[in-house]
Structure 1
Amino acid sequence: MLKLEDSYSHKGQRKALVKTLENKGIMDKKVLNAIGTIPRHFFFDSALHSHAYDDKAFPIGEGQTISQPFTVAFQTELLNVQPGDKVLEIGTGSGYQAAILYLLGAEVHSIEYNKKLYQRTKKFLPKIGININFYQGDGSLGLPEQAPFDKIIVTAGAPVVPNSLLKQLKIGGILVIPVGDRKTQKMMKFIKKTAKQVSQESYSNFAFVPLLGKEGWE
């Protein structure tokens, strides 16, 4: 059995992190509560535990990163997750974002391009009580067999908005995705008004690893 300790010190660091996120403009109490609950240091190698509650991204191997907590909070706030929402996450990575979605009451379907990361995270998350649906494959194409989704969140930078993802969104559904070049992207929020009409909002710049796949960076 996985032995992981969540000490008073860790809990105190999470409280401080939540305060930092509030100061940076995150207002959704449910999102802040989830970040204050999930032990982020569980997702780090022990050598990096002292940095787990810094508001920074860190490498997790395979050329991937665990996103900055502010980025996770910002995307999750835009997604407006409601209990019972069927949520598609593109880019499982460490599983931290999926854990936040799960805590908010979502039915999470998460797809990871990298096979090693997929295997590692699929094994790890259930050990800390996070039960989601795992898939390995091309996230830029979504998961047509599980569509439609109430919400879709993309945790990698896309050159364009994949049409497949918009198609797999329910009417009234929300897609949150960073779009731009390989270095910086604008955070975009799309709301599917009708089968053919989509509204969009654009937010400030972020830097994500590239979205790989047929409708991403090949």
Structure 2
Amino acid sequence: MLASDMTHRARRGRGMTSQRTRDRMVERLADQGIVDERVLAVMAEEPRHLFVDEALAHRAYEDTSLPLGFGQTLSRPVTVARMSELVHREAPGRVLELGTGSGYQTLILSRLVSGVHSVERIPALYQRAARRLESLGAPARLRAADGRRGWPGAAIFDVILLTACASALPSALLEQLSDGGVLIAPLATADGEQWLTRVRRHGHTLEQQRLEPVRFVPLLEGVVQGTG
């Protein structure tokens, strides 16, 4: 999609879907256990339909994940809301998101907290997300890089959020986490289950808490070539 087309869609933005459609989504989120009023308010306001292909825009507010290409998906609204709620609860000053994807989770985070940084390993997704977020005035910093390495030049972070499943915690990320900071990530068990996990750093000690079962694409290493 051309940058001019992206800007035009953003300007139409909230007019493409009725507020009633958004309100129904938010009602479902509340029924599914999302209690943070600020998260619900932001998700009622922001245009999720701009973060998928126009052919899928009519499904943007359904309780489902949607394809982005490159083997990636836009997570269900309840997953985005839950992740956002966990981040917002920490009242962080600096947040690192690993796996920008469409940029929708990044947008929601940028409306809730300051200092949002996001890393995407697929250049084509990074470029699309950057255009979308710029057109919407989202105050987030993005880069195309290997997310497993974090963002050393912007560290230290109060919260690090992984939007892909890791089998183990990358040591580079833990080194970029503040003392008392939290890493929120889907982690895989030996038998293949995935659990949304909160890891709090206390000096050299890590306190882990399993929160709920989830299903995410795997966290992969390296930057994809030839897709920019």
Kept in 2: contact 1:57–1:68 (CA 8 A): yes
| Alpha-carbon distance in structure 1 between the residues aligned to 2:110 and 2:127 | 19
Worse-matched range after superposition: 3-12 or 164-173: 3-12
Is 76-85 or 108-117 further displaced after alignment? 76-85
1:199 maps to which of 207, 210, 219: 207
**Which residue identity is paired with 2:46?**
I
The within-5 A match list for 1:175-190 is 175-180=183-188, 184-190=193-199
Alpha-carbon distance change, 162 to 58 in structure 1, aligned in 2, over 3 angstroms: same
Residue 113 of structure 1, aligned match among 91, 101, 121:
121
In structure 1, what is the Cα distance between the partners aligned to 2:101 and 2:60?
A: 16
Q: Deviations over 1:36-75 (max 9, x none)?
A: 1111011111111110000111001111111111111111
Aligned equivalents of 1:82, 1:190: Cα separation in 2: 12
Larger mean CA deviation between 173-182 and 97-106 belongs to 173-182
Secondary structure of 2:18's aligned partner: helix
Q: Share of identical aligned residues, percent?
A: 38
1:184 deviation in Å?
4.5
Query: Shift of the alpha carbon at 1:7?
Result: 2.5
For the residue of structure 2 that corresponds to 1:157, the secondary structure is coil
Partner of 1:42: 50
CA contact (8 A) 1:21 1:70 kept: yes
Task: Supply the distance in 2 between the matched residues of 1:156 and 1:173 (Cα, whole angstroms).
Answer: 19
125, 133, 154: which is aligned to 1:146?
A: 154
Answer whether contact 1:81 1:151 (CA < 8 A) is retained.
Answer: no
Structure 1, unaligned runs of 5 or more? none
Counterpart of 2:226 in structure 1 is none
**Secondary structure in structure 1 of the residue aligned to 2:85:** helix
Please, which of 14, 18, 23 is the counterpart of residue 15 of structure 1?
A: 23
Matches of residues 55-134 of structure 1 in structure 2 within 5 Å? Answer: 55-80=63-88, 85-134=93-142
RMSD of the alignment, in Å? 1.9
Q: Does 1:29 align with 2:75?
A: no
Match of 1:136 in 2: 144
Alpha-carbon shift at residue 130 of structure 1 (Å): 1.3
- In 2: Cα distance, 1:82 partner to 1:3 partner: 35
- Whole-angstrom distance in 2 between the partners of 1:84 and 1:206: 24
Q: How many residues align?
A: 213
Distance 1:127 1:82 in 2: 28
The residue identity in structure 2 corresponding to 1:3 is H
Q: Give yes or no for the alignment of 1:3 onto 2:8.
A: yes
Structure 1 residue matching 2:8: 3-state secondary structure: coil
TM-score by structure 2 length?
Answer: 0.87
Indicate the SS of the match to 1:85.
coil
- 1:54 partnered with 2:59: no
The whole-number CA distance in structure 2 between the counterparts of 1:16 and 1:27 is: 15
Task: Give the alignment's TM-score, normalised by structure 1.
Answer: 0.91
Work out the CA distance in 2 between the residues paired with 1:38 and 1:101. Answer: 11
Is the contact between residue 82 and residue 106 of structure 1 (CA under 8 Å) also seen in structure 2? no
Runs of 4+ residues deviating >3 angstroms: 81-84, 181-184
Cα distance between partner residues in 2 of 1:13 and 1:165: 38
Per-residue deviation, 1:30: 1.2
